[in-house]
Amino acid sequence: MATTALKTTSLSAVEFLVAEICRGSKDIATTHDARYKHVEAIGYRTGLALFESHSACISEAKKNMRFQGELDVIKYLCKDMWQVIFQKQIDNLRTNHKGVYVLHDNQHPMLTHLPRTIPIDENVQLLLAYPCGVIKGGLAALGITASVSAEITALPACKFNLDVRRA
């Protein structure tokens, strides 16, 4: 039986699209918070559909197998999903084993083309709303509710803070 094959697109197309979504959000919302939410919601929808379709066939060995626990899911996000979306893996994953995860990305594709001297203001922050939404939506698809925020340390490095709320 044929499994749903993953369709691919070039990374630059994703970069341009996200940049355009961020720019276009100015016409839709006036405040920064509303714009951030708008871009994040688009990412959320992407994550939801992407994880739904991709989590069935990660690899031949893990075909039609479930994840074992939360850490397994986060590892899958860092290794496989980041590869699918950004063609690179998360460089460093830290956790306190109590539901807080910090994902370090030393060369985030959304930030690599920015000049190093640019001040880190809310417009730069907005570029990371999309990946935040993807993470949030993806985890929601796998049954984990998390609050996600991004932090820019030094361009083009950034880190994502995941707080998984326990029921």
**What residues line the site for another protein (CB under 8 A)?**
1-4, 45, 48-49, 51-53, 55-56, 64-69, 141-143
Q: Which is nearer to another protein, 26 or 45 (CB)?
A: 45
Under 8 Å between Cβ of 154 and 120: no
**Min. distance of Cβ 82 from another protein in angstroms?**
17
Question: 46: which 2 tokens?
Answer: 């992407």
HSE at residue 144, side-chain half, CA atoms within 13 A, is 24
Q: Which is nearer to another protein, 52 or 122 (CB)?
A: 52
Q: Which is nearer to another protein, 45 or 94 (CB)?
A: 45
Radius of gyration over alpha carbons of the chain, in Å?
Answer: 16
Instruction: Give long-range contacts, CB 8 A cutoff, 24+ apart: 30-35.
Output: 32/122, 32/126, 35/126, 35/129
**Min. distance of Cβ 5 from another protein in angstroms?**
10
Q: Which is nearer to another protein, 111 or 139 (CB)?
A: 139
Q: In what order do the strands lie in the sheet with 146-152?
A: 92-95, 100-105, 158-164, 146-152
**Min. distance of Cβ 107 from another protein in angstroms?**
29
**Min. distance of Cβ 157 from another protein in angstroms?**
30
